[in-house]
């Protein structure tokens, strides 16, 4: 089992942050396109090789995010039509997210088995998440999924503030 930590800087307009291991070493680097269309987040490993890309689909009625890992689309996160509360569906082959993912406290399942857990760490400067990877073969997918869910949350918050 690997424990990884994602910590975003509060006032960073560049959209860059790192994923660290339990020893505090940088394991992944995340770079976002803050003002670019389409909005993307690219995840690099410690050798600076691209391992995943999160892209927001442009020109769609409801926001949709695509997650590619090693060049293959693995996950789609799509906003569902709803009048009261924002609802999203996560579509992935054999992957399921259970828990409160808008509060960043959830488990990730593959074919019914827990492969990862995510918990938001409170009382920190910026958003910080503890990610437990129980299946190391799925580490890149789990990190990409956490970054994508955080991106969906930020996009939803931006849309809500623009509407008021």
Q: What is the pTM of this model?
A: 0.85
pLDDT value, residue 34: 63
Considering only residues 137 and 10, tell me which one the structure prediction assigns the higher pLDDT: 137
* Structural domain harbouring 26: 2-163
Query: Looking at per-residue confidence, does 13 or 142 come out higher?
Result: 142
- Tell me how many domains the chain contains: 1
CATH number at residue 60: 2.40.160.200
- Find all residues with CB under 8 Å of 104, minimum gap 6, and list them: 118, 119, 120, 127, 129, 146, 149, 150, 153
Number of C-beta neighbours around residue 134 at 10 A: 17
For residue 11, what pLDDT is reported? 41
- Per-residue pLDDT tens for 92-135? 888 989 988 778 899 999 999 999 999 988 765 567 889 999 99
């Amino acid at each position: 089992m690997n424990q990884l930590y994602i910590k975003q800087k509060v006032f960073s307009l560049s959209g860059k942050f790192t994923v660290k291991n339990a020893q505090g070493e940088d394991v992944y680097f995340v770079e976002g396109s803050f003002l670019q269309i389409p909005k993307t987040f690219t995840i690099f490993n410690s050798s600076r090789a691209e391992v995943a890309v999160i892209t927001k689909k442009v020109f769609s009625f409801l926001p949709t995010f695509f997650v590619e890992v090693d060049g293959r689309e693995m996950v789609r996160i799509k906003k569902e039509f709803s009048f009261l509360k924002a609802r999203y569906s996560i579509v992935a082959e054999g992957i399921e997210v259970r828990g409160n993912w808008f509060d960043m406290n959830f488990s990730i399942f593959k074919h019914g088995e827990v492969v990862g857990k995510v918990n938001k760490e409170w009382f920190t400067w910026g958003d910080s998440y503890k990610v437990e990877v129980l299946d190391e073969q799925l580490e890149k997918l789990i990190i990409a999924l956490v970054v994508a869910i955080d991106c969906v949350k930020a996009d939803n918050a931006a849309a809500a503030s623009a509407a008021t």
